Structure 1
Amino acid sequence: MGHRITGDRRNPSTGAGHDCFHVAIDDATRLAYVEVLPDETRRSTTAFLVRALRGFRARGIRVERVMMDNGSGYVARLFRKALRMLGIRHIRTRPYTPKTNGKAERFIQTLLREWAYAIPFSSSQSRVADLPRWLTWYNQQRPHGSLGRRTPAQA
């Protein structure tokens, strides 16, 4: 799922100079995989999918299906073909119904509150550079109520 974050909270965004972060959440463990990419094109989303699947596989997670919003990159023929070739079922959310993909939407709220806008970063680049640190903390140290106070890595 792609989402935009702007580089400067104090000034209104003009739509230019934003980053798109792409998020994959394991339904059972809440383990998160996130990348910040310059766009949400079909090539970017498909490459993100492949890297996310590798990341989950490295942690022993077998992906059988993915649920995505209806962003153009995630409904593109290239993306659908990649899923088909990998034997993964593609589930699309209901249009204009974010609660359909509630775990990802909730994670994005947490990501924004606890990382992207939690402290003032000097630049978008410094914020992006901090993402791996935060993501490691989120996956390995942050307890989750829905997991019985365990971390995603413990679930």
Structure 2
Amino acid sequence: MDDSDPARRKRLTEAAAGALAAMRAGEDDGALDRVAAAVRATPDSHADASELMLLLFHECSAMVSALGSGGTTPVKMQVYDDDGHEVPIDEADPPVRTAVRTLLAQVHGDTDGAKAQIDIALTNAAPEEMATLMVQALRWTLRLSEECLNRALPIPTWLHEA
């Protein structure tokens, strides 16, 4: 995320934390409402949506790395269909495949590749597909942060407080 505007970073981090808190409470729609409100409130909503998703995927990447470093239990990222059944990546919906590609790019240090995936989605995806992508990023962030806490691994303060 661009750190040149601390107020923007704070606003997006707070929006992400609020969305994660809503998801933790089982309110997926409320989580999306929080994100949408934070992004719509700015003149450059496209850039803010991209930055918010990149923030989440960046944190997911850091947590995947922390979980994979010397741990005895491997990290397994799962992809689910609309009914909650695990599916192979090639059978996942396009927004979920985008989420996987974005996370893999981040994990491998390809920030530009991750940003390109998000930008392609923002340009071409329907609103409901973008909602699915955001939900996936939020779910992974939530689950990975919980697993890091279970293994006594550090997570950013804003995630801990979400």
The verdict on a shared fold, with TM-score over 0.5 as the criterion, is no
**Higher Cα Rg: structure 1 or 2?**
1
- More contact order relative to length (CA 8 Å, sep ≥ 6): 2
Please state which structure has a larger fraction of its residues in strand.
Answer: 1
Superposition TM-score, scaled by structure 2 size? 0.27
